[in-house]
Amino acid sequence: MKIDVVVCTKNNADTIKHVLERILKYVPVNKLIIIDGISKDGTLEIAKEFGAKIYSDQGKGLGYARNMALSMVETEIFAFIDADVLIPKDWFNLIKHFKYERVAVANGFIMFGFNNPILKALSKYQLQNRRYKQINLGNTLVRLKSVIKVGGIRKGLPSFEDSELHTRLLKHGFKWVVDKNVVAYHPRTLKEHLAHMRWWGVGSRVAGSPPTSYLYAIVRSLGSGLNLALQAHPTLLILFPLFQLNRYLGYLEEAKMEKVECA
């Protein structure tokens, strides 16, 4: 069984070569599709070496790029693999979940910051915690007709498009599988993780998440930070609440932008 693979990129020259090498080695690829967010480094030059079909999202954001993919893929099951996510050799084991018709999406777990001891400790704890489910579209197999049936992927979201889609799929009776036996890696630094949390907060505001959920998350993170400091890494006592605060700052940043546009 061959599948189309979609890789959304933006200035990923440092990682995309290794990402594409792993995709072609570990996934039975029918068509390799690159959707680029106007990269200004050597991302596209590298992608061309792998024979990928390259398109531009014209800088309209990740939600727009992912939704573009729905009209480009030819296979009923296709993959989203981000340009900074390194998949393992057993990655295609995710396909086993699609023997059940109600399964719309199956994603593996992403180990963030595997070259950063703090993020690595946090990811390892989350991987082993049965209650923690990591919803993502960056390491994922998707059933095309199921996503189209619920209206596709929301175009206007710069981030948070995976969580928003997850909510709609579940409301329509579909299943989203998180398989922690399939572990991919993301070489994210601590600074990049803080920036990502802020960016994620911006997208959640656009998606319509209530502010109370973030205030509650910040309060709850104080206790979680203590638990993580004892079980994962001592600096998470401060850093974990800071991650949640950055998410809320992104939320407020989008709110400020809305006021400026309305003025």
Is the predicted pLDDT of residue 256 greater than 60, yes or no? no
At 36, the pLDDT band (50, 70, 90 cuts) reads very high
Q: Looking at residues 1-8, what average pLDDT do you find? A: 96
Given a contact cutoff of 8 angstroms between Cβ atoms, the answer to whether 239 and 118 are in contact is yes
236-262 and 190-207 helices, crossing angle to 10°: 40
Q: How far apart are CA 167 and CA 174, in angstroms?
A: 10
**211 vs 225, higher pLDDT:** 225
What pLDDT, on a 0 to 100 scale, did the predictor assign at position 255? 58
Is the predicted pLDDT of residue 262 greater than 60, yes or no? no
3-state secondary structure at position 53: strand
Q: Looking at residues 90-96, what average pLDDT do you find? A: 98
Q: pLDDT tens across 105-119, in order?
A: 999 999 998 889 999
What pLDDT, on a 0 to 100 scale, did the predictor assign at position 259? 44
What pLDDT, on a 0 to 100 scale, did the predictor assign at position 47? 95
- CB-side neighbour CA atoms (13 Å) of 137: 25
Q: pLDDT tens across 46-87, in order?
A: 999 999 999 999 999 999 999 999 999 999 999 999 999 999
117-128 and 236-262 helices, crossing angle to 10°: 90
According to DSSP, the β-strands at 29-36 and 53-56 are parallel
What pLDDT, on a 0 to 100 scale, did the predictor assign at position 245? 95
Q: Looking at residues 180-192, what average pLDDT do you find? A: 95
Q: Looking at residues 199-220, what average pLDDT do you find? A: 92
Is the predicted pLDDT of residue 203 greater than 50, yes or no? yes
Q: What is the mean pLDDT of the chain?
A: 94
pTM value is 0.93
Q: pLDDT tens across 121-180, in order?
A: 999 999 999 999 999 999 999 999 999 999 999 999 999 999 999 999 999 999 999 999
Q: Looking at residues 243-247, what average pLDDT do you find? A: 95
CATH of domain 3-188: 3.90.550.10
Burial class of residue 226, CB neighbours in 10 A (0-12, 13-18, 19+): middle
Rounded to 10 degrees, what is the CA torsion of 60, 150, 185, 207?
A: 50
